[in-house]
Amino acid sequence: MTNEAFIFNIHVSGLRPGRAQRVYIDPNGEERPGKRIRAPKITHAKANELYG
């Protein structure tokens, strides 16, 4: 166990007027230069399946 934790969901405003939406991404995406990742968007159901 480490002392670090990461949250991989994003609240996005402006997609539906009057409502913020949560966008889920998979942190096990494509590794990119500079310690970055290209994280694909996934559904809430898929996020629960993968990460509980």
C-alpha–C-alpha distance, residues 51 and 46, integer Å: 8
C-alpha–C-alpha distance, residues 39 and 27, integer Å: 5
Compute the mean pLDDT over every residue in the chain, rounded to the nearest whole number.
80
More confident residue, 13 or 43: 43
* No. of helices (H) and no. of strands (E), the chain: 1, 5
Query: Is the pLDDT at 1 greater than 70, yes or no?
Result: no
What is residue 33's predicted lDDT score, i.e. its pLDDT? 93
Write the pLDDT tens digit of every residue in 3-28: 766 666 666 677 777 776 778 888 88
